Structure 1
Amino acid sequence: MSAASQARKRRPADDLSIVAFERGQHVSYSACGIPYLVAGDVSEPDDLVARRPEEFRERQRIDLRLSSTVVAIDTDRREVTVRGDGREYREPFDQLVIATGGVPARPDVPGADAQGIHGVQNLEDGIRLLSYLDAHGPRRAVVVGGGYIGLEMAEAMLRRGLDVTLVDAADQPMRTLDADMGGLVADALRAEGVTLRLGERLGGFDTRAGRVAAVRTSAGEIPADLVILGLGARPASGLARDAGIAIGETGGIRVDRRMRTSAEGVWAAGDCVENLHLVSQRPVAIALGTHANKQGRAAGINIGGGYATFPGVVGTAVTKICANEVARTGLSTAEAEAAGFAVYSVVTESTTRAGYFPGAKKIKIKIIAECTSGRLLGAQIVGQEGAAKRIDALAVALWHRMTVEEMTSLDLSYAPPFAPVWDPVLIAARKAAEALQSAS
């Protein structure tokens, strides 16, 4: 809908007819807000909706068709095949935007279709989960997967008073972090009351009367009244692949900087596409709403006759578990080494405010930099209130290919309620610069 809206801004309805197909019942909503809806921070599902279908139809004159699934694309005949309203029909196009999002991972194990096993990909999923919680009053929740969604849903279940167990096949939660920083996240989870079952592979689900009763892992059985799946997602690129559109090595649709695919007049944006990582210079598939909105905007501007690009990503992300905040940007140590960099790292501990000021919390920052040049390659943060958003300063430095020495002179704000005299970012940069000088 970002693409549709931007195209409409530049071309009126008598110049450009816009048809949008959505297989669900909701458009233009915050999927990232679903865990907070479940936790109770957001009162109603409608609160997550940015624009209602009527606004697109009436104000922007976009022909938005809900409960309509595109099942095929024919780039030669310039038409899509649609199933909706109890029929199948074809719709012609001159320009096409593919924004099919991601396909959530679903385990192919016994019992996976039992009642009480929920994913949280879209708003309908969140509404169904809320209904299940209200109808069945579960006491024991098992979250499978220790990524962003897994952590956020673990918090949501804790907030609702459930006993929570988190299962992950990796040896740490948040495997996009280095092991030392992931260990801090594991400690924080345990401190909040989450039982961690790490290094355990999912084997299946036991059921009772059609409902989930236990989760079976490689290390045993875990009783469960409710299961939340947070196993990640892959690009939903099958529709494009079947149409002969080029797919990249990550499984995402290959696009150029303007979001054009290999097919003339066909664009793609969002979780279904492959991105360029600006640090590693390698293709990546990173599913984030921030990227999706920017990409959709670029595609719409170009379709509308303007010029816009999406240059790539650096992998900035943030989440929290109760009072604990986690953030990362750029490359992890393993990712940097895989990209061919010789790296070193430093970890520093500071406080989010002046140490004497009430409410000062601990914050740990890890800097990953290139050996010889000192160029910043990545950063990770684990802390409490006021910690995580400091990743933005590091992301900007990363975007502009700054060295850790250059970062030590950044003019960051200071006042005791917000930071020590030396902001934690500056402390981390200084320690990284000193480490490089000592090594040379």
Structure 2
Amino acid sequence: MFGTVVIAVSLYTVSRLMPIPAEDAEALALIEAPRPMEGRNGFAALWSLRHDVPVAEAERLLVLEVERFRSRPILIGAGAEPSHASALDAYPRIDAEAGSDVLCSGRETQCLRHVRDRMDALVPAVAMRKALAARVAALDDYEYFRSPFPARPDTPLPAYNPLFQTQTLHAYAFARGDREEGLRGVCRNASIARKLVASGDMLVGGVMGTALMDTSTRLFVDMLAELPADHPLPEECAAAFDADDAMLAGICPSMLGEGHYVLEGFRAMNVDEQPWHRRFMADIFLDQRKTMARGARRHAWFCGAQADALIRADTPLSRQAPVSGGWTFSCLANATGCILDNIAAPSLAGYAERFQDAEARLRTVSAWRALRGQRDDARPLEERLDEWQRAHPGGRRMRIGTHGGGLEIDLFNDSQGRGFALPPPVDRADLRAP
């Protein structure tokens, strides 16, 4: 028995003293490194989007809110007290609930048609949201959106739903005849989506950016399909829907931002306020630094050479991404940490594909617009599409749809359907010609 105890203690000691693997240490350093951004941070404007409060006042309130949040205990789990009221609650809300049932939902694939079928019912709903639309449009004046709140499990998140409500307003403006206003609005939303993706904040911000880009892309194409191919577009639309790899470039910073949030939250959860003997017992099988390094490797993988090669080959990232930290000899003295890391590992599965699909949609729109402008080319559409794809290699393979002759691609993340389809790239002016 004594020999068994000696062997166990020896193994535990060796395991405890093992250094953090170099790969994990590099990943942790990458996650913890400062990631400055140039320009103005619009988080205060995003955070206060639903309230009738001047942005300057919202910026002042945000500073106070962050300080108050830092000083309060973490609220999480069963029995946790409700979070404290926000300073914004003193200001009236402008995101009215009334009329929300007639708005285009986030999953609506034919928002323009949806609006045309409900023009009369939408009149009051649109009127109530004019102030909200103005505040959303002002978000495009900022360069990025990054939260100043400490990373904790109870970190407040901004409300992203108002961004999607404005899509109905832009479709309504277009349907009633103000085409320029409708186009400007949907292109501004696409610009805001780009900035959300590039901000490198928590993963939820990047994912919301891809979702906003997707809904904007569909509405933009629906609008263009009703206009001549040579119709001049507003300045806001110059590069809003270009396939320039912006969605793909957002994968790494978004994963680093999420990694920072997870690691800082783990650190905050392990701030000890318990008696020393309880801390001692808890720390026997938990090495906080090693656990954080294991988790950092999972997030930093999306910035490495293997992920970059998969992105260039347009292969779903989750097929190769590490979904488990596994078990190593160092887990002997960090059993709790390894268990927590292995539980958390699958949480990133599928999210990177949203960015890949968003870029694939933009590439399909670029091809659609190019083919639509070839009015004098009598070659079959399939032949012209193959030529465009040879001239623009890489990316998702497009095909001609079996029904209607539009463009189609398959999606990696099928939460909103297995494919993305566009109408035939035909100029409506040609169809109306005698």
| TM tier relative to shorter chain | under 0.3
Point out the structure with max Rg over C-alpha.
2
TM-score normalized by the length of structure 1: 0.26
> Quick check: which one's strand share is greater?
1
By relative contact order (CA 8 Å, sep 6+), the higher-ranking structure is 2
Give the structure with the larger helix fraction.
Answer: 2
